[in-house]
Structure 1
């Protein structure tokens, strides 16, 4: 279990939601907590911190505050601010997310000079 604390430069609740959604898709994320006052994102679980930081740096200015082993929580966190990651939320390798092939069929209006009609 690892604990990663990041400073993510998000401006509002919509960007906060997008950042948390981007991180929650990684395999092994246990919990997420974002403090908007300090703009600190805390991620804990069994995950690769490099992948998480690289994903966030694509869209937001992100700095690493600390990386280390996760300590056991003493129950002081507010459960409204903690988002538990859904284990089946991330895309799995056997799932096909491609759109089905739909051939283009142009619409032809009836013409008065039609020989076949």
Structure 2
């Protein structure tokens, strides 16, 4: 399995569709993806020279990289979980302290109603 990244120059959506159709029609191709930078990524058991030869009939094509197709590793996800735990630390070492605003006026308590149990609700 190889991962081939190609730079393709196209100008409209119709040409883009033709490129994707041609790339997916190459024998041995398992997946085809194109990003916004006009980079075409083809994965599978393919010959990069044959792929470029077919695509150059549609538009200007260059090989950017050829390498082994890597499967996503599950071991890399575990350290990310540990990093998230470290991010939950409070921003201040002593934690947050709430200071109420200073009272500028003191009002005497006003009784609203008297409870039958003898308590005054203010």
Alpha-carbon displacement from aligned partner over 1:52-92 (angstroms, at most 9, x marks no partner): 01111122111111001111136xxxxxxxxxxxxxxxxxx
Question: Hey, what's the Cα distance between the residues in 1 that align with 2:51 and 2:65?
Answer: 13
Larger radius of gyration: 2
Give RMSD over aligned pairs: 1.6
How many residues in Structure 1 have an aligned counterpart in Structure 2? 74
Alpha-carbon displacement from aligned partner over 1:2-31 (angstroms, at most 9, x marks no partner): 000001001122111100101111111010
- In structure 1, runs of 5+ residues without a counterpart are 75-117
Change in Cα spacing, 1:66 to 1:14, as seen in structure 2 (3 Å) is: same
- In structure 2, runs of 5+ residues without a counterpart are 74-122
Correspondence for 1:59: 58
After TM superposition, what 4+ stretches of structure 1 lie above 6 angstroms from structure 2? none
1:25 to 2:30 alignment? no
Q: TM-score if structure 2 supplies the norm length?
A: 0.57
Question: Hey, what's the Cα distance between the residues in 2 that align with 1:73 and 1:60?
Answer: 32
